[in-house]
Structure 1
Amino acid sequence: MVKLAANISWLWTGSSTELGLRSARAKGFKFVESLAPYTEPAESWGRWLEDFQLKLVLINTPSGSSSDLPVRGLAAFPGREDEFKTVFEHALDYSNRLGAPIIHVTAGPTLKTEFGISQQSCYEKNLYWACGLAESNNTTLTIEPLSPRDSPGAFMADLGHAVRTIEAVNHPCLKLQFDLYHQQILHGDIVQNLRRTFSLIGHIQVAGVPNRDEPCNGELNFERVVTELESLRYEGFIGCEYRPETSAEEGLDRWASKYLQPTVETGTNAEY
């Protein structure tokens, strides 16, 4: 069974969080994800999720002082370990309060400056520390290879690098975030790579290639991917992290209707 999660940060960019969540539920989503829920109080998020009967399944760690960099993230940033711990604890607090089971731990950019510790060593130590906190809260952490087309200079930019990092950290809470868009650009051979890394996958995201719009556009055969995931018995979520070609609603009608159950709203709550 395909469980699509609407990425509120991408599908309804420019809308308020509340309106984005309302729109997601109206189109039939039961699950959502957010890059940065921290712009709204957790109490507000909790109320909206309850009002619209939605489950928040994934959030990113806050960018912190990396927010002005081309690639955001602090996990692989030597010298900023204390800040990483602060932003991770903030993410974990939101995860706990909102019931979000997955936190994407963003790595940040490749650095040219020499430090007393390598970026990889810093990355692994930070991830292992974060996994210790996540385990006690029953939370999964993910790392995601990013393509240079969208994130030039990203430290985590290769599937093999992600696999080696997960193996080095060697903690059951750490999983792979397999973004079909990034992986098609980075490596192609999507089905074989899904099979090869399936035991490590904790979350999947999708967008069309090359324009990062609806999955029905471009070269990526999403229906074939779904067939493979069903064969592999994938039980996780597929996050819709793409930029709508026109409107989110029109695009979803073109490719996602078979996976969603639109609702009719009356008043504050939707009828199901």
Structure 2
Amino acid sequence: MTTLRFDANLKWLFTEHPFEERFDAAARAGFRGVEFPAPYAYAPERLAELLRQAGLSQVLVNTPMGPAGSPTRQGLACVPGAEESFRAGVLDGLRYATALDAPFLHVVAGIVPDGVERDRAFALYQDNIGWAAEQARGTGIRLLLEPQNKRDAPGFVLDTQAQAAAVVDTVGRDAAGLLMDFYHAQIDEGDLITTYLAHREQIAHIQIADPPGRHEPGTGEIAFDRIFATIAESGYDGWIGCEYQPLSDTVSGLDWMKGLTA
């Protein structure tokens, strides 16, 4: 049985503080790792310094996404006509991940645009992930592929954990891994323990939140005591990203972690 390691998603947690102050706040709360999706407004050198000062490890960053309301608002990987921007974003993501010593780059899949056949969008997604995997090989950075639920992201190109896991196997587990977000998986699929165990070998990173409100564990419908026990018993030794909106302030909402970490 392994010890669980939780990291703080600084887009969602410690928002009581300006972004640059969230690193120290996370460290004071006991976190040793952080993740945040969009580092691109900051110079990588500045982010590396904030991590160093707080004694934190960066776990992942996301590839860039388009502005709200655009066809690329949930990622570029499946959007015809966005191939050039997609490739530039992957290279930029790899640059940031390298500078921050992050082991993962989440390649955000995207929403099937209006008027585009889903099969065409998914075929483009597979081609783009194959290209991205070739860029990642030899860098020490592994791509992450994540399905998102269709309630929050209608039209998202990845439907299931199984579909994303199949793409991982196609491009190679050395270059890519499955990001299983239990919040998204519960909304679209359920049967979480069976689904987790079925894809354990492809899973490289985990994220958590409790639906329906996307708050901390214990506030919704997931039996997280059994989920965490299953993860520990499975030998998973990676990070578990806390990607939820605290019900109140972040620190008072961390009681659920007691007894779960070393």
Indicate whether the TM-score tops 0.5: yes
> 1:14: Cα distance to partner?
6.2
Q: Distance in 1 between matches of 2:239 and 2:152?
A: 23
> 1:259: Cα distance to partner?
4.2
1:161-172, aligned counterparts within 5 Å? Answer: 161-170=163-172, 172=174
1:105-184, aligned counterparts within 5 Å? Answer: 105-114=107-116, 118-170=120-172, 172-184=174-186
**Equivalent residue letter for 1:162:** A
| Structure 1 residue ranges without an equivalent (≥5) | 262-272
Corresponding position: 1:222 with 2:224: yes
Q: Distance in 1 between matches of 2:260 and 2:43?
A: 31
Which is helix-richer, 1 or 2?
1
Q: Distance in 2 between matches of 1:39 and 1:62?
A: 11
Q: Does the CA contact (< 8 Å) of 2:32 and 2:57 recur in 1?
A: yes
Task: Label 1:196 to 1:95 Cα distance change in 2 as closer, same or farther (>3 A).
Answer: same
> 1:13: Cα distance to partner?
3.2
Q: Distance in 2 between matches of 1:184 and 1:76?
A: 24
**Equivalent residue letter for 2:96:** Y
Alignment partner, residue 77 of structure 2: 75
| Structure 2 residue ranges without an equivalent (≥5) | none
**Equivalent residue letter for 1:165:** V
Task: Label 1:14 to 1:118 Cα distance change in 2 as closer, same or farther (>3 A).
Answer: farther
Map Cα deviations across residues 80-113 of structure 1 (whole Å, 9 max, x no partner).
1111010111110000011010011001111233
TM-score in terms of structure 1 length: 0.89
Number of equivalences: 258
Q: Distance in 1 between matches of 2:143 and 2:38?
A: 16
Q: Identity over aligned residues, as a percent?
A: 33
Q: 2:93 aligns with which of 91, 98, 103?
A: 91
Q: Distance in 2 between matches of 1:69 and 1:251?
A: 34
> 1:164: Cα distance to partner?
2.7
Q: Distance in 1 between matches of 2:70 and 2:25?
A: 31
> 1:77: Cα distance to partner?
1.2
Alignment partner, residue 188 of structure 2: 186
**SS state at 2:153 partner:** coil
Q: Distance in 2 between matches of 1:251 and 1:130?
A: 37
Map Cα deviations across residues 130-167 of structure 1 (whole Å, 9 max, x no partner).
11111110111111111122212211232232123223
1:175-254, aligned counterparts within 5 Å? Answer: 175-252=177-254, 254=255
**SS state at 2:200 partner:** helix
Alignment partner, residue 255 of structure 1: 256
Q: Distance in 2 between matches of 1:78 and 1:138?
A: 29
> 1:171: Cα distance to partner?
5.0
Task: Label 1:170 to 1:260 Cα distance change in 2 as closer, same or farther (>3 A).
Answer: closer
Q: Does the CA contact (< 8 Å) of 2:162 and 2:199 recur in 1?
A: no
Say which is worse superposed, 211-220 or 147-156, in terms of deviation. 147-156
Q: CA RMSD in A?
A: 1.8
Alignment partner, residue 9 of structure 2: 7
**Equivalent residue letter for 2:19:** T
Q: Distance in 2 between matches of 1:114 and 1:259?
A: 45
Alignment partner, residue 44 of structure 1: 46
Task: Label 1:118 to 1:14 Cα distance change in 2 as closer, same or farther (>3 A).
Answer: farther
Q: Does the CA contact (< 8 Å) of 2:12 and 2:245 recur in 1?
A: yes
Map Cα deviations across residues 182-226 of structure 1 (whole Å, 9 max, x no partner).
111111111111110001101000011211001121111112111
**SS state at 2:199 partner:** helix
Task: Label 1:26 to 1:242 Cα distance change in 2 as closer, same or farther (>3 A).
Answer: same
Q: Distance in 2 between matches of 1:113 and 1:48?
A: 44
Q: Does the CA contact (< 8 Å) of 1:95 and 1:103 recur in 2?
A: yes
Task: Label 1:168 to 1:97 Cα distance change in 2 as closer, same or farther (>3 A).
Answer: same
